[in-house]
Amino acid sequence: MGKERTIFVCQKCGSQAPRWLGRCPDCGEWGSLVEERIAQAVLSPVGPGSMGGKAAQPLSIAEIETTGEDRMKTQMNEFDRVLGGGFVPGSIVLVGGDPGIGKSTLILQSLDRMAGAGFPILYVTGEESLRQVKMRAERLGAGSSGLHLLAETCLERIIEAGEKMNPRVMAVDSIQTVFSESLTSAPGSLSQVREVAGRLMYFSKASGITTLIVGHVTKEGAIAGPKALEHIVDAVLYFEGDRGHAYRILRSVKNRFGSVSEIGVFEMREDGLQEIVNPSELFLSERPKESSGSVVVSSVEGSRPLLVELQALVCPTSFGLPRRTSIGVDYNRVSLLVAVLEKKVGLHLSDKDIFVNVAGGISIDEPAVDLGVISAVASSSMDKPIDPHTIIIGEVGLGGEVRAVRFAETRAKEGARLGFTRCLIPEGNKKKMKPMEGMEITGVATIAGALDLIF
């Protein structure tokens, strides 16, 4: 194996240092360097371009043949949407998220459905015994004979089992528990996680087996999570959600075989995850009709328009410094929009506490909801409700202008489908849109003009 050497690895950014430092020289984090021992001579795995130890030769791109293999459907439409249509043979996919959010449930349900469709599947568990996985599978109603289980944490034995069985899909849950015998560091350490992920990648490319890796992301930002592996894998999916809500969002942040920013929506129930076919209708099901500070906005996630309720509460502050709190919307963006509202409309908010929330426990990170935030804050401040059949779309600039957004027509059509009759959009989008049956499209150029039309 060779002599061992000691390095110090930053648990936040993954950078290495030959000696311990109080502060990471790359990311500036204090106390993040942790000692790890690794072997100097490690057998290099075979790369995807040099199978069987043969040296890779350069080829003209015109000479390379593509097979055009069909994707493997997971039998879960929301999962397939995020993947871009299903699994690509030989790809490696990372599913990350907070511990206990439902990653193992999602993987087990989808693999069981694939096994029921005739695909041989191997599920490798490093955190649970076979009996525990069987109990969870029974609770989820999963029991296809094509689903094979393996309780193992040694990478070399996992690859050996994969070579013998030759499944179409192999899942490793989770990568924090798997170790390679070629390294002496503990499982879950940065060197082990990268070595295991790299070896699994080469195995997938050489064998054509699709590999699913499950990784945890902690609030402390431990490096043994997806952030250390994003450059290795083909696709990175994050499973997000608030434990206080039943809804879960599967979000694509990297996908070499499909579009990014796609989302799949699920509801966590006692018998597992249930797909949400119409998330907009679900998020708006409990919306109050005549309440001030409530507005419906449209956000586009990937290719899917989502209508969600955005709420604001404005009340006099009890302290010298007013509070600004936002849940589901970027805090700095809310502060900026409140300042624009004060400056360009003259609404006095400097002595008011302002709370902004996106109902349903989801997060919105696009500027197309800016006008909705301003409308909700103004509605709560003046205690005047907004017409419940109106949706509001638009980005707001520092000059108080309402700027055009992408997919304006798609957003408006989604509103019309759900029974909304009026849509406020930027004037720049209004000029390019055709009349829409059942929907009154109104263009606005400034936030002052928008508020005049709303109230």
Check which CATH number belongs to the domain holding 319 and give it: 3.30.230.10
Mean pLDDT, consecutive 10-residue segments, the chain of 455 residues?
A: 68 77 84 70 48 68 73 92 92 89 93 94 93 93 92 95 95 91 81 89 93 78 58 90 80 87 87 88 82 93 87 90 92 95 91 92 89 96 93 95 93 91 94 88 95 92
Shared domain for 111 and 238, answered yes or no, is: yes
Residues 6+ apart with CB under 8 A from 176: 126, 187, 188, 193, 215, 216, 224
Which of 234, 261, 277 finishes a domain? 277
Residue 431: exposure state from Cβ atoms within 10 A (0-12, 13-18, ≥19) = exposed
Which of 259, 277, 295 finishes a domain? 277
Task: Report d(CA 394, CA 370) in Å as an integer.
Answer: 6
Tokens of 164: 């013998």
Task: Report d(CA 40, CA 160) in Å as an integer.
Answer: 25
Residue 222: exposure state from Cβ atoms within 10 A (0-12, 13-18, ≥19) = middle
Residues 6+ apart with CB under 8 A from 36: 6, 7, 8, 9, 185, 189, 190, 191
Residue 222: per-residue pLDDT: 47
**At 4, phi and psi to the nearest 5?**
-90, 155
Going 190 to 191 to 193 to 194, the CA torsion angle's sign is: positive
Task: Report d(CA 383, CA 294) in Å as an integer.
Answer: 11
Orientation angle between helical segments 130-140 and 103-116, nearest 10 degrees:
80
Residue 218: per-residue pLDDT: 60
Shared domain for 374 and 434, answered yes or no, is: yes
Shared domain for 184 and 333, answered yes or no, is: no
> Is residue 90 a contact partner of residue 132, using CB atoms and an 8 Å limit?
no
Which of 277, 301, 316 finishes a domain? 277
How many separate domains does the chain show?
A: 3
Shared domain for 12 and 81, answered yes or no, is: no
Tokens 């302002």, residue located:
354
- Domain of residue 378 covers 282-454
Residue 38: per-residue pLDDT: 63
Shared domain for 11 and 141, answered yes or no, is: no
Shared domain for 244 and 365, answered yes or no, is: no
Task: Report d(CA 355, CA 300) in Å as an integer.
Answer: 23
Residue 41: per-residue pLDDT: 44
Tokens 């990648």, residue located:
201
Q: Is residue 231 part of a domain?
A: yes
* Alpha helix ranges (H) inside 245-392: 279-283, 331-345, 370-382
Q: Is residue 46 part of a domain?
A: no
Query: 3-state class of 303 per DSSP?
Result: coil
Shared domain for 80 and 180, answered yes or no, is: yes
Tokens of 343: 């400056």
Q: Is residue 53 part of a domain?
A: no
Residue 70: exposure state from Cβ atoms within 10 A (0-12, 13-18, ≥19) = exposed
Residue 419: exposure state from Cβ atoms within 10 A (0-12, 13-18, ≥19) = exposed
Residue 405: per-residue pLDDT: 94
Residue 223: per-residue pLDDT: 41
Long-range interactions of 231-235: CB distance < 8 A, separation 24+? 232/92, 232/194, 232/197, 232/198, 232/201, 233/92, 233/93, 233/94, 233/197, 233/201, 234/88, 234/91, 234/92, 234/93, 235/83, 235/91, 235/92, 235/93, 235/94
Q: Is residue 145 part of a domain?
A: yes
Task: State the first-to-last Cα distance of the chain, in angstroms, to the nearest integer.
Answer: 75
Shared domain for 303 and 374, answered yes or no, is: yes
Q: Is residue 62 part of a domain?
A: no
Task: Report d(CA 365, CA 417) in Å as an integer.
Answer: 24
Q: Is residue 303 part of a domain?
A: yes
Q: Is residue 388 part of a domain?
A: yes
Residue 225: per-residue pLDDT: 52
Shared domain for 259 and 298, answered yes or no, is: no
Shared domain for 374 and 310, answered yes or no, is: yes
Shared domain for 387 and 351, answered yes or no, is: yes
DSSP for 203-220 reads: HHHHH--EEEEEEE--TT
* Angle CA 434–438–440, to nearest 5: 60
Shared domain for 80 and 204, answered yes or no, is: yes
Q: Is residue 237 part of a domain?
A: yes
